[in-house]
Amino acid sequence: MRVLSTVRFTLLRMLRNYIVLLLLLIVPIVLISLFSLILSGAVTDTGEPYLKQPAVSLVLCFQLFGGSTVMYMIHSELFTEHRARMQMLPISLTMYAFSIMLCGVVYSVMLGVILMTFTQFVLGVIWEHWLWTIYLITLMAILSSVVYLVFMLAVKVYKTAERLSEVYGIGFILLAGLFFPMPDHAFFRFMGSYGNPLTLSTIAIHEMSMNNTSKAWFAANILLAATIILFLVMMVVGRRRFMRDRV
């Protein structure tokens, strides 16, 4: 509840970067619309639109970059010259950091839901299990924020954290084989399946649509376990960073 008390202040701070927030919404819609124009009318042998798989992949792909807003805000507010001013406010900086993370995750999930709504009601892509997909989008949004914060807290130079976050997002997209096939090697097979948050979410959505609930939950639980482990890592790294900067 203490985190919720800082949400209003956090939202006001986030809205100062409204252009970035709008771009995070507009760019995915434009890209998905381009894919729709390219694949317009094309269907598979089963009659399913070719657009469905790219649409699912793109909606999930953008969650890999959802942590960028959280990372930028926490660094700007708590690890730059703004920190001294923030310490004068009657709020806990730890609670404020969690509030930023909470708002960032909620915004990423909202974007995912908006993209699902757009693809279904405008482009005709059918999402069979909305709540299940939203659950997976939420896991990916939390994981993205956690991973980005681990990068930011673990390195001294913010630009390095930005490059690492780009490697995280683009790297998993490449390893998923969305642009070109990966080599037939055990490492690439693992990183293109159960070692990749993007493919784990895709597998979970596909298996649930095929009514293979056990396989769907297996993939989702791997994603949940990775999120919990990395969250604990973030807590340890964050505590050390705050203690080091306090000295």
Q: What is the pLDDT along the chain (247 residues), one digit of tens a residue?
A: 555 667 777 787 788 877 878 888 898 889 888 888 887 766 666 667 777 888 888 899 999 998 999 999 888 888 877 777 776 767 777 788 888 999 999 999 999 999 999 999 988 888 889 999 999 999 999 999 999 999 999 998 999 999 999 999 999 999 998 888 888 889 999 998 899 999 999 999 999 999 999 999 999 999 999 999 999 999 999 888 777 765 5
Residue-level pLDDT at 13: 79
Residue-level pLDDT at 61: 92
Nearest-5° Cα angle at 234, 103 to 193:
90
Longest dimension (CA), the chain: 65
Distance of alpha carbon 62 from alpha carbon 27, whole angstroms: 10
Answer yes or no: pTM beyond 0.85.
Answer: yes
Residue-level pLDDT at 47: 63
Residues 6+ apart with CB under 8 A from 23: none
| Domain total of the chain | 1
Residues 6+ apart with CB under 8 A from 97: 74, 78, 238
Q: Which two tokens stand for residue 141?
A: 């949004």
Q: Which two tokens stand for residue 15?
A: 């809205």
Question: Residue 172 sits in which domain range?
Answer: 4-246
